[in-house]
């Protein structure tokens, strides 16, 4: 009987934790995307479902190798980049296998030729070639500047 109670407590504890994780993954706000692949990125799409079809492109221009860009996440954030598989070749999409675990504007998603790395701004800002000097600004930062 005691065993059943303990088990019940454990199950009860895990549910809020899962919800917290889900909430964490629903971060809405800016992050940095750093292209460390050898290819220019034609598109970056953020989407809730595994399929990226129909998701808008977040880039205003192709992102060159080594360049970084600030993109806005809008919750349940799966990221897909689209580029030519080879120069002049067929379009090729590489998606994160799950929503990225961004929780703040200090999150950096590094794009490689065949995958990604989740990192923080502090971890990458000192690396050679990182093009940004400061993390993306939050709307409240802009508001306080205005005040």
Nearer to another protein, 101 or 104 (CB): 101
Whole-number minimum distance, CB 42 to another protein, in Å? 9
Cα–Cα dist 57/81, whole Å: 9
Report if residue 19 touches another protein, rule: CB under 8 A: no
Q: Three-state DSSP class for 133?
A: coil
Report if residue 16 touches another protein, rule: CB under 8 A: no
Cα–Cα dist 55/46, whole Å: 7
Residues 92-111 that bind another protein (CB under 8 A): 92-98, 100-101, 110
Whole-number minimum distance, CB 59 to another protein, in Å? 14
Report if residue 73 touches another protein, rule: CB under 8 A: no
Cα–Cα dist 29/74, whole Å: 7
Cβ burial, residue 42 (10 Å; 0-12/13-18/19+): middle
Ramachandran bin of 61, using left for φ above 0, alpha for ψ from -120 to 50, beta for the remaining angles: beta
Q: Which of 67, 70, 119, 132 binds another protein (CB under 8 A)?
A: 119
Report if residue 54 touches another protein, rule: CB under 8 A: no
* Site of interaction with another protein (CB under 8 A): 36-39, 51-53, 82, 85-98, 100-101, 110, 112-120, 123, 127-128
């Amino acid at each position: 009987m005691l065993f059943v109670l303990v088990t019940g407590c454990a199950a009860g504890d895990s549910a809020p934790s899962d919800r917290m994780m889900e909430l964490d993954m629903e971060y809405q706000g800016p992050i940095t995307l750093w292209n460390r692949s050898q290819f220019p990125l034609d598109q970056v799409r953020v989407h809730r479902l595994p399929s990226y079809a129909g998701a808008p492109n977040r880039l205003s221009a192709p992102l060159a190798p080594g360049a970084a860009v600030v993109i806005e996440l809008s919750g349940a954030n799966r990221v897909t980049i689209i580029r030519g598989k080879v120069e002049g070749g067929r379009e090729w999409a590489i998606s994160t296998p799950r929503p990225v675990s961004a929780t703040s504007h200090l999150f950096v998603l590094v794009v490689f030729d065949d995958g990604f790395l989740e990192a923080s701004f502090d971890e990458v800002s000192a690396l050679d070639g990182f093009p940004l000097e400061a993390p993306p600004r939050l709307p409240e930062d802009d508001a306080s500047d205005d005040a």
